[in-house]
Amino acid sequence: MFTSGLLIIPQKIQWGNYVKAFVDGHFLLYFKTIAIYPENGIRPYLRCMDGSTYINDLDVVRSTDIYGETLASKNGMVWKSVPKGNGDTYLTNRSDKIVLYREIFDLTQKKTLGYIAIGVSQEYFQNLCQNITKNEKESVLILDKNGGELVKTGTLPEKLEDYLTGEDFIQQNYKEREKHFTYGDHEVICTQTDKNSSIVCKVVPAYGLQMQVQDIAYMPLILLIGMLIGLMPLLMIISNLVTKPLRRLCEAINEFSTGDFEQQVEVMTHDEVGEVAECFNKTTGERNHGGKLKPEYRKRWAEYICRYIEEYRNRGYHVAKLTMQNEPKAVQTWDSCIYTAEEQKEFLRDYLWPSLKAHGLDDIGIYLWDHNKERVFEWAETIIDTETTSMIRGMAFYWYSGDHFEALRMIREKYPDKQLLLSEACIEYSKFSADDYLNNAQKYAYDMMGNLNEGMNTFLDWNLILNEEGGPNHVGNFCDAPYLFDRDSKELKESNILGYLWHFTHFLEPGAVRIGVSRYTDKLEVTAFEKDDKITFVILNRTDEELTAHIRLGEYCTEITVQPKSIGSGVMTEWK
Statement to judge: residues 105 and 146 lie in one domain? no
Statement to judge: residues 89 and 198 lie in one domain? no
Can you list the positions of beta strands (E) in 89-209? Answer: 90-92, 97-106, 111-121, 139-143, 149-153, 180-183, 186-191, 199-205
Residue 362 above 90 pLDDT?
yes
Statement to judge: residues 347 and 305 lie in one domain? yes
The enclosing domain of 297 has a CATH number of: 3.20.20.80
Which pLDDT belongs to residue 202?
Answer: 84
Which pLDDT belongs to residue 22?
Answer: 29
pLDDT confidence band for 99 (50 / 70 / 90): confident
Residue 396 falls within a domain, yes or no? Answer: yes
Residue 501 falls within a domain, yes or no? Answer: yes
The residue-averaged pLDDT of 71-99 equals: 83
Q: Output the CA–CA distances (angstroms, integers) from residue 450 to 288, 432, 550, in the order listed.
A: 33, 20, 20
Statement to judge: residues 203 and 81 lie in one domain? no
Residue 264 above 60 pLDDT?
no
Residue 248 falls within a domain, yes or no? Answer: no
Residue 276 falls within a domain, yes or no? Answer: no
The enclosing domain of 560 has a CATH number of: 2.60.40
Q: Which is more confident, 451 or 194? A: 451
The enclosing domain of 189 has a CATH number of: 3.30.450.60
The enclosing domain of 35 has a CATH number of: 3.30.450
The residue-averaged pLDDT of 529-533 equals: 91
Residue 256 falls within a domain, yes or no? Answer: no
Q: Which is more confident, 527 or 18? A: 527
Statement to judge: residues 319 and 364 lie in one domain? yes
Residue 261 falls within a domain, yes or no? Answer: no
- Indicate the number of domains in the chain: 4
Q: Which of 495, 518, 504 is nearest to 445 (CA)?
A: 504
Measured between alpha carbons, how far is 400 from 372 in angstroms, rounded to an integer?
6
Residue 462 above 80 pLDDT?
yes
Kindly report which listed range (53-57, 127-131, 478-482, 571-575) carries the lowest average pLDDT score.
Answer: 127-131
Sign of CA dihedral 58, 63, 67, 71: positive
Residue 324 falls within a domain, yes or no? Answer: yes
Statement to judge: residues 388 and 307 lie in one domain? yes
Residue 412 above 90 pLDDT?
yes
Q: Output the CA–CA distances (angstroms, integers) from residue 452 to 370, 420, 447, 533, 570, in the order listed.
A: 17, 9, 8, 20, 17
Which pLDDT belongs to residue 143?
Answer: 84
Statement to judge: residues 106 and 154 lie in one domain? no
Which pLDDT belongs to residue 79?
Answer: 78
Phi-psi region of 70 (alpha: psi -120 to 50; beta: other; left: phi over 0): alpha
Measured between alpha carbons, how far is 547 from 493 in angstroms, rounded to an integer?
31
Range of the domain at 26: 16-121+231-235
Statement to judge: residues 522 and 489 lie in one domain? no
Q: Which is more confident, 6 or 491? A: 491
Statement to judge: residues 27 and 43 lie in one domain? yes
Which pLDDT belongs to residue 289?
Answer: 81
Statement to judge: residues 46 and 155 lie in one domain? no
- Of 508, 532, 558, the residue that ends a domain is 508
In one-letter notation, the amino acid at residue 461 is: D
End-to-end CA distance of the chain: 43
Statement to judge: residues 532 and 566 lie in one domain? yes
Kindly report which listed range (232-236, 291-295, 411-415, 494-498) carries the lowest average pLDDT score.
Answer: 232-236
Residue 366 falls within a domain, yes or no? Answer: yes
The pTM of this model reads: 0.57
Residue 308 above 60 pLDDT?
yes
Can you list the positions of beta strands (E) in 28-96? Answer: 31-38, 45-48, 53-54, 77-82, 90-92
pLDDT confidence band for 108 (50 / 70 / 90): low
pLDDT in tens, 184-218: 888 888 877 667 667 888 888 876 544 444 443 34
Kindly report which listed range (20-24, 220-224, 259-263, 292-296) carries the lowest average pLDDT score.
Answer: 20-24
Other Cβ atoms less than 10 A from the Cβ of 433: the count is: 11
Q: Tell me the percentage of the chain whose pLDDT exceeds 70.
A: 77
- Of 508, 538, 563, the residue that ends a domain is 508
Statement to judge: residues 536 and 456 lie in one domain? no
In one-letter notation, the amino acid at residue 400 is: Y
- Of 215, 247, 263, the residue that ends a domain is 215
By three-state DSSP, how is residue 213 classified? helix
Q: Average pLDDT, whole number, for the chain?
A: 80
